[in-house]
Amino acid sequence: MRVIGIETSCDETGVAIYDRDEGLLGHALYSQIELHQAYGGVVPELASRDHIRRLIPLLRQVLEQSSTSRAQINGIAYTGGPGLVGALLVGASFGRSLAWSWGVPAVAVHHLEGHLLAPMLEAAPPSAPFLALLVSGGHTLLIRVDGIGQYQILGETLDDAVGEAFDKTAKLLGLGYPGGPALERLAAQGDAGRFRFPRPMTDRPGLDFSFSGLKTYAMNTLQAQGGTSSGETQGDEQFRGDVACAFQQAAVETLAIKCRRALQQTGLSRLVIAGGVGANSSLRERLNLLGQELGVSLYYPRLEFCTDNGAMIAYAGCLRLEAGQTEGPAFNARARWPIDELQGLRAEG
Ligand code: KG4
Ligand code: ZN
């Protein structure tokens, strides 16, 4: 079975082709970062319009890259949600129309299931059951995965997602959008011993997170030292680096504390890290240490598949289509879509 995956949930247009026997045959990504940079964040209407412009050239590119003709395609998978509804509608209507005109089935893929399963595209994929830490711009979740579609949420953020906290703190530090990678670079110059930020919600039992206070703590630290909260930080480079470093350390340590707790509570011996913040090297180093200490194996997608991409959608869609999941001709686009509403599959990949 050979499936096209289409991702348009936010600010990246991704198209990929996955073959059940041959693996990932091609993938292409167009990032809208430059388009949104001037606004300091994603402008939903601009995102939708740009997805329209990019989809056909990207599709042509992956078909060519993988020497695939349309007759070889057995299905279309598109991101059905959660995400920006206008952006989702572009991918959903494109994917559905393509499926209809090529006479193949289509399936709406849950964006977070895509992220969760991205490590399956690597050489030594994890087998279920495993614990997954899903850290993106919109979500922070600890999930117990017992099979494809069998997801139990163990903990989640009560306010900002960790990626959102990175982005907002980066803005306070006068860094551009997207803030996560820029903050990581600035933090590398910081002195880890200068400030100690709190580790939110780690002093009480439970696996939920709260990251909005960390951003406020960063703002207060900046203000107390003469920085402004408007993004025009007056502080010198070293001071800004020290704040970035303290923020990153607190975010990473908080995630590590909750992962340790979840691993100990569940007794699981495999940990998957997925989503954009999973690209953060300080988080990777910290979790690697935790893994060594607890005898837990860690699994990451390759860096380019931590952030949004079409490959993870093609993979998840292929499993669902292969298991016979079908849907009517109406297309699905859901801004909100709880992952634990997904149907489990008998076949495991
Ligand atoms: O998974 P993703 O591409 O999109 C969503 O589904 O949200 O994640 C994007 C998020 C952004 O908040 C971005 O700042 C963050 O991931 N991010 C990082 C890094 N790379 C991306 N955060 C910290 N360190 C990074 N290296
Ligand atoms: Zn994502």
Residue 61 lies in a domain: yes
204 and 288 part of one domain: yes
Query: Looking at residue 348, what is its pLDDT?
Result: 46
Residue 233 lies in a domain: yes
Residue 346 lies in a domain: no
Percent of the chain beyond pLDDT 70?
96
What's the whole-model pTM score? 0.94
Residue 28 lies in a domain: yes
The answer to whether 162 and 140 are in contact (CB under 8 A) is yes
Structure tokens of 155?
A: 């903990």
Residue with CA at minimum distance from ligand 1 atom 16: 276
Query: Looking at residue 334, what is its pLDDT?
Result: 96
Count of alpha carbons within 13 Å of 10, Cβ hemisphere only? 17
Q: Which residue would you say has higher pLDDT here, 303 or 348?
A: 303
Query: In the predicted model, is pLDDT for residue 230 greater than 90?
Result: no
**Ligand 2: centre distance to CA 83 (Å):** 8
139 and 273 part of one domain: yes
105 and 214 part of one domain: no
Q: Which residue has 């906290």 as its token pair?
A: 165
For ligand 1, residues with CB inside 6 Å are 10, 136-138, 163, 166-167, 178-181, 184, 275-277, 279-280, 307-308
Query: In the predicted model, is pLDDT for residue 347 greater than 70?
Result: no
What is the Cα–Cα distance from 79 to 47, expressed in whole angstroms? 15
Q: The CATH number of the domain where 53 resides is what?
A: 3.30.420.40
144 and 191 part of one domain: yes
For the stretch 46-64, pLDDT in tens is: 999 999 999 999 999 999 9
Domain containing 49 equals 2-118+305-341
Query: Looking at residue 65, what is its pLDDT?
Result: 96
**Ligand 1: centre distance to CA 291 (Å):** 22
Query: In the predicted model, is pLDDT for residue 184 greater than 60?
Result: yes
In the 3-class helix/strand/coil scheme, how is 227-293 assigned residue by residue?
CCCCCCCCCCHHHHHHHHHHHHHHHHHHHHHHHHHHHHHHCCCEEEEECHHHHCHHHHHHHHHHHHH
Query: Looking at residue 326, what is its pLDDT?
Result: 79
Q: Into how many domains does the chain fold? A: 2
259 and 139 part of one domain: yes
Mean pLDDT of the chain: 94
DSSP for 70-93 reads: GGG--EEEEEEESS-HHHHHHHHH
**Closest-lying ligand 1 atom to the alpha carbon of residue 275:** 1
What is the Cα–Cα distance from 119 to 127, expressed in whole angstroms? 10
Q: Which residue has 């349309």 as its token pair?
A: 70
For the stretch 112-132, pLDDT in tens is: 999 999 999 999 999 999 999
Residue 214 lies in a domain: yes
Residue 347 lies in a domain: no
97 and 142 part of one domain: no
Structure tokens of 105?
A: 């089935």
71 and 195 part of one domain: no
DSSP conformation class of 209: B
Query: Looking at residue 349, what is its pLDDT?
Result: 42
Query: In the predicted model, is pLDDT for residue 76 greater than 90?
Result: yes
145 and 70 part of one domain: no
The strand pair at 270-274 and 297-299 is best described as parallel
For the stretch 3-50, pLDDT in tens is: 999 999 999 999 999 999 999 999 999 999 999 999 988 999 999 999
Helix residue spans in 40-198 (DSSP H): 44-65, 85-102, 111-117, 162-172, 179-187
Query: Looking at residue 29, what is its pLDDT?
Result: 98
24 and 76 part of one domain: yes
95 and 132 part of one domain: no
Residue 349 lies in a domain: no
Nearest to 349 by CA among 150, 202, 111: 150
Residue with CA at minimum distance from ligand 1 atom 23: 180
29 and 171 part of one domain: no
Residue 318 lies in a domain: yes
Percent of the chain beyond pLDDT 90?
89
313 and 296 part of one domain: no
